[in-house]
Amino acid sequence: MKKLISLLLILVVFSSCLAFSEGSVSAAPAEILKGMSTEQKVAQVLMPAFYYRQDEEGKKVGVQEIYPEMEEILRKYGFGGIIFNLQNAQENEKAVRLVDAVQTANASVPGRPQLITCTDQEGGYVSRLGQGTMMPGSMALGAVNDLDLTQESGRLIGEEVTAIGYSGTFGPVMDVNNNPANPVIGIRSFGDNPEQVARQGVAFLKGLHEAGSLSTLKHFPGHGDTDTDSHTGLPCINKTYEELKQLELIPFQAGIDAGADMVMTAHIVYPKVETGTYISKETGEEIGLPATLSRTILTDILRGDMGFKGLIVSDAMNMDAIAKHFDPLDTAKLSIEAGVNLILRPVDTSTPEGLAALEKYIQEVAALADDGLISMEALDKAVLEVLTFKEAHGMLTPYDGGDIEERVAKAVATVGSFEHHEFEFEIGLQAVTLLKNNGMLPLDMNENLAILVPYESEVKSAIYAVGRLQDEEHPLLEGLEIPVYFISAMTMGDLKKVAQETKQLILVSVAYSADDINPDTKAGANTALLDMIIRLAHAAGNKAAVISAHLPYDAAHFADTADAIVVAYGARGMNEDPREKDGNVAQYGANIPAALYQMLSAGESVGKLPISIPKLDENGKFTDEILYPNAVADPR
């Protein structure tokens, strides 16, 4: 039996070699396609992830190096690509070696095309390089409104991504965040004006290309006007095609015209554009087909009307918008026939059962294609487009990782370098936006002051800002000690004492959703706490400034109470003080330190609000009345 199994494995590998040898590395994509089995075709339109695995004790751990079962499936199937995440890139050296091992395992079959390797390094809130430079993010760049700096930000991100060994990144985000209740885009967008987003997105894209990184526009045809997160539900946008052309599609068209390499789809239903329906496996009700599964949106509009020639990548298929409602084999059929080239994360691979499920998925999708239940013509077209793309980007040649030690040294020197972090901090400073000042700024350094933050990691952010100014021997901070408090670790008595005895309070507000802004909801507990602190401070004759650290829309809540409001556009904290470590430091957010640095140094805030902030009604809901209008005009 063992001999028989060994013989079968040899035959599988040998047949794989034969299939690819007919279309050798020098052959045209069409010839390679002719030599592929149906299973190889299916694998070539998949982009799985290997974020986690089970260790010897059955615990879930991040994948930082290739393991036998993972290597086996990479050798057996020639996937179109692999997506990497933070779990795969905790440390620069390990991340480089992992990418090299993955490409090497894939290259075990002679003539097999290289893998497209990508990660979600948008900059800001969505950053996947554990020791990389986050940058302040898209909305912060929108507030700076300098296209040269946006391009440089994209270039530095592209430089770090390619130093690790990735083909590119899933960015820029071209969604127009024109719905303040949007729970998933927010500060990931450059703003709420389509022309403004188009300019910024194209500049960022140019920077990526300058660094040799592939670019990906997302989330087509637009995720900015939703109030549902597609990770947890199925959003719906009731706009006609003509309405989309007037807003959502403007940035995408600009990005396509600028030479975008890939476009990522949105798991959003547009019932006035795509009329196809499906019976939800969760509810049994008829639902609309989302853009990811819509031939009308992906082939007729994106390919036909908008002229996109690159690769279409689905958003992750394990997101609830898809996984809860659609059978996996149906999503394969619908997405391939809609025009998707790479199906992202079709199966959870974090367990041995998950790896087996990925193999079963490939086999069952291939069987459906062989039986005519999935259009073989559509599958061949998808594969041919992937192979043609790979040919254009040098991925049909045999993988050659070069000197791995040299690559590791380059990544360690490049990713999260001092120079990149200094640029990041400068962008953070220029993004800081002053919305309100009722005589509190500049701060009076003859009066005591304190900083209060809602998350423990932000304590280090505040200490870093103070320490940086002290290291620079800023005259305003000479001899001063500025206490930093972690609100959640304080008793109510201590909070009251600080509020009543501190003449100047700087409060950090972090809102990730509209619910976080409303103090009457469970999610708004931190907002309610800040309200109490402000009331106590005012009752004692003290003043309180609020830093809107994440979504700027919380400024509407504090408009009538805070003595000053400053917007930072990113709430990520620090786990390590970069001043205390020699070498690669864990990624951290520059936004809060930059805002505090400006306030403590009496610096001028030059950032302009790149979105409009509406007023709130008595129930904490957004109204149609604008409180703080979009202040960005023409780019600098």
Give pLDDT tens digits for 2-18. 344 344 433 444 444 43
500 and 586 co-located in one domain: yes
- Cis link prior to 519 (omega < 30° from 0)? no
Whole-number Å distance between alpha carbons of 256 and 172: 12
Cα within 13 Å of Cα(441), Cβ side: 26
The verdict on 396 and 437 lying in the same domain is no
**CB of 88 closer than 8 Å to CB of 63:** yes
| In contact, 304 and 342? CB cutoff 8 Å | no
Q: Is 512 exposed, middle or buried (0-12, 13-18, 19+ CB in 10 A)?
A: middle
**Identity at 44, one-letter amino acid code:** Q
Please tell me the distance from the alpha carbon of residue 115 to that of residue 112, in angstroms, as a whole number: 9
Q: Which residues pair with 112 in a beta bridge?
A: none
Same domain, 579 and 494: yes
| Residues 465, 583 within the same domain | yes
Q: Are residues 436 and 513 in the same domain?
A: yes
Q: Are 357 and 485 contained in the same domain?
A: no
The CATH number assigned to the domain holding 599 equals: 3.40.50.1700
- What is 127-144 written as a DSSP string? ---TTS---S-HHHHHHH
Q: How far apart are CA 397 and CA 391, in angstroms?
A: 8
Segment 559-599, tens digit of pLDDT: 999 999 999 999 999 998 888 877 789 999 999 999 999 99
Q: What is the pLDDT of residue 28?
A: 87
2 shares a domain with 112: yes
Question: What is the predicted pLDDT for the residue at 6?
Answer: 41
Residue 186 lies in a domain: no
> What per-residue confidence (pLDDT) applies to 224?
86
CB atoms within 10 A of CB 392: 13
Do 47 and 107 fall within a single domain? yes
Q: Are the C-beta atoms of 269 and 222 separated by less than 8 Å?
A: no
Measured CA to CA in angstroms, residue 487 lies from 220, 529, 630 at distances of 40, 9, 32
Is the pLDDT confidence value at 70 over 50?
Answer: yes
Q: What separation, in Å, do the N-terminal and C-terminal C-alpha atoms of the chain show? A: 72
How many residues are there in the chain?
A: 636
- 475 neighbors 496 (Cβ within 8 angstroms): no
Section 153-170 average pLDDT = 98
531 is a catalytic site residue = no
Spatial separation of the C-alpha atoms in residues 367 and 370, rounded to whole Å: 5
Distance CA 114, CA 104 (A): 9
Q: Is the same domain home to 357 and 480? A: no
> How confident is the model at residue 634, as a pLDDT?
65
* Claim to verify: residue 492 and residue 598 sit in the same structural domain: yes
Q: Pick the catalytic residue: 120, 175, 192, 315?
A: 315
pLDDT greater than 60 at residue 388 = yes
**Is-catalytic flag, 231?**
yes
471 and 396 in a single domain? The answer is no
SS3 264: strand
SS3 342: strand
165 within some domain: no
Q: Are strands 60-62 and 449-453 parallel, antiparallel or unpaired?
A: unpaired
C-beta of residue 129 within 8 angstroms of C-beta of residue 587? yes
Segment 603-614 mean pLDDT: 96
Question: Is 490 inside a domain boundary?
Answer: yes
- What's the structural domain count of the chain? 2
> Amino acid letter at 269?
V
Does 492 have pLDDT greater than 50? Answer: yes
Task: Look at the block and give the residue holding tokens 């061949």.
Answer: 380
Q: Is residue 599 part of a domain?
A: yes
| The two three-digit tokens of residue 237, written as one number | 């946008």
Average pLDDT over residues 151-162: 98
CB 506 within 8 A of CB 516: no
Would you say residue 529 lies in a domain?
Answer: yes
Strand partners, 126: 123
pLDDT at 26 over 50: no
246 lies in some domain: no
Backbone angles phi, psi at 547, to 5 degrees: -95, 115
Tell me what pLDDT residue 577 has. Answer: 86
Give the max Cα distance, the chain: 86
619 occurs within a structural domain: no
Q: Are residues 497 and 453 in the same domain?
A: yes
* pLDDT reading at 23 higher than 80: no
Between CA 27 and CA 45 the distance in angstroms is: 20
pLDDT, mean over the chain: 93
Provide the residue range defining the domain that includes 33.
1-119+351-363+390-400
AA identity, residue 386: V
Chain-centre distance for alpha carbon 5: 43
Gap between the Cα atoms of 628 and 316, Å rounded: 35
pLDDT in tens, 31-50: 999 999 999 999 999 999 99
Residue 440 lies in a domain: yes
Q: Which residue has the higher pLDDT, 540 or 5?
A: 540
Instruction: Determine the pLDDT at residue 636.
Output: 55
Average pLDDT over residues 466-495: 93
Catalytic-labelled residue, pool 146, 231, 348, 515: 231
CA–CA separation, 201 vs 250, rounded Å? 11
Residue reference for tokens 């993955």:
102
